[in-house]
Chain A
């Protein structure tokens, strides 16, 4: 197998592009696809301060590496979720990545800073773990970005992530979510702009990028997410992709191009009626925001002890 660009030995095929790449041209391909997404969706402007939400996994570390390589001023934010050994190792990868490259990593720890962890919070609030985790991430990413004076939060959601969410929302015709499934959410009072620069790249490409660039990342699956519906959607889409390369990209990117506007959300209208959380000051639809209600239920609860997570 030869590189489509230079004819040297290839190390990876990207079948939806009908292309094979050597290491150097694969890195160039990933950078080019990221640049295209940033420019097409007007995600970032030169000179803006970017906060990359870093989990220690392949997507977020690759995103941080790419953005720095493209010349953006990007710091990282690691949120300690307290999911046993899995979180310990994830944090080690995030810290090692930042330290080896001389990058700034901001850290927030749920247990140390808010008195609970995801397994305990989920049980205390009777939420599924992914729900408690997502709620905490959204709230604390917003807060860290606003407190730190960042213009934008960048997350490592890739094409597979977005296609799987779209698949789930279409299966149930969750039209209120379809309008929000865009790769840029504009800033509003109390919310920074949020962007997803990897939406043109598949999950396999992000893992390959890390291997080629020598980025050590958390390879194990989150023990809280194992067997969830989202992973099932990804497997279903990959079954189709195997026999029909390009299906995932067409499904998601053509949705953005041809259908997303039909479900368009008026983000300014969303602001109408928003209150200020009496506990933390964040925008909310209730007197106290969902995160503060989660903190209230979780602090003081008996900690959930996880078994080995590897």
Chain B
């Protein structure tokens, strides 16, 4: 069985998660809040019910930003 290549940010790093796995299950496994991130494959958003194959490379992009001003 292969792994999904997952690029994370802040700091930028790559982790491997055994696939196939659904997006929402992947976020749960990584303990990420689905309100705080987007999942992107290539240049395209990937919704939560999609089954990621073990050949997939995705980015999990945080969306929270900003100072207090």
Contacts and interface: CB of A to CB of B under 8 A. Distances in A.
Which bracket fits the contact residues of A? 35 or more
A238 B48 CA distance: 17
B45 to A, nearest CB: 4
B33 A212 contact: no
Contacts of A57: 65-66
A133 B69 contact: yes
Nearest to A136: B69
A225 B40 CA distance: 25
Contacts of A137: 69
Most buried by A among B9, B43, B46, B47: B47
A214 B67 CA distance: 25
Interface string B8-43: 011010000000000000000000011111101001
A242 B48 CA distance: 13
20 contacts: A57-B65, A58-B63, A59-B65, A134-B68, A168-B68, A203-B63, A204-B37, A204-B38, A204-B63, A207-B61, A211-B40, A212-B45, A219-B61, A221-B62, A225-B67, A225-B68, A230-B67, A230-B68, A231-B66, A235-B36
Interface of A: 1, 10-13, 20, 57-59, 129-131, 133-134, 137-138, 160-161, 165, 168, 202-204, 206-208, 211-212, 214, 219-222, 224-226, 228-231, 234-235, 238-239, 241-242, 310
